[in-house]
Amino acid sequence: MKLTKIAVAIAMFAGLAAAEEKTPSKFVRVIGTSEVRVVPDRAVIEVGVEKQDPRASLAKHAEDAAARKILAALRANGIDEKDVQTTYLSLQQQSSYVKKQRVYYFVASQTMSVTVRDISKLDTLLEALVRAGGNRIDSIEYEVSDLRKYRDQARDLAVKAAREKAEALAKALGQDIGRAQQVEEVPDLSYRYANPTSNVFYESAERAKAAGPSLAAGQKTISASVTVQFDLN
């Protein structure tokens, strides 16, 4: 008899559990986004040198000599060795037509990536590099050194925006939101950007000072986006 009562009780509990599972969950899912604008405090430039000569050895020697002067100019302007890296090195034969005759020559080139941690000195540094023999500036990219702090800030604002949006939706329905059940950050790939330039030539230092800065850092936009699901009461 006792076994029969226990079996009936188990069956009742199972039925209640099944009923609860069939009851649709009430929730509101929203996406919160935010943007934080920050003035960059450092820059990464791609500067290089390119030399040509009918003989491969002379082209390479000329490029090497110019590269050494560029490295010396970087050190003289306070750039640490850890902030300089050779990213491209090439020696190739090329040709062109001179008076309808094909002329062959060799082109030796090298590109260095330089991190400038004080962008107020960027104009002066570029002028020094050109004077040292650099004849290629391939790109410049502005960065924010304390990026994690601003990403955390943007994420917090995105979560707050998600909650405000959920509350507004629920209020329009005459309801309230409860606890957050799910939260997911949407990856953001839009932070980095580059402003490519090629074969940029600068005025003399005297003219540059008179005219003012020739570069503008602007602002970086650091964004965050989250998807949050709240209970709907």
Nearest to 230 by CA among 169, 143, 151, 158: 169
Nearest to 71 by CA among 110, 108, 41, 107: 110
* Termini Cα distance of the chain: 43
- Is 131 within a domain? yes
User: Structurally, how many domains does the chain consist of?
Assistant: 2
- Is 1 within a domain? no
Q: What global pTM score does this model have?
A: 0.67
229: domain CATH number is 3.30.110.170
Per the structure, the complete domain to which residue 81 belongs is given by: 42-143
Assess whether 81 and 53 both reside in one domain: yes
- Is 16 within a domain? no
pLDDT at 212: 65
Mean pLDDT per 10-residue interval, the chain, length 233 residues: 50 52 75 94 95 96 96 96 96 92 95 95 94 93 92 95 95 92 81 40 43 78 94 91
Q: Which tokens sit at 159?
A: 């979560």
Assess whether 37 and 149 both reside in one domain: yes
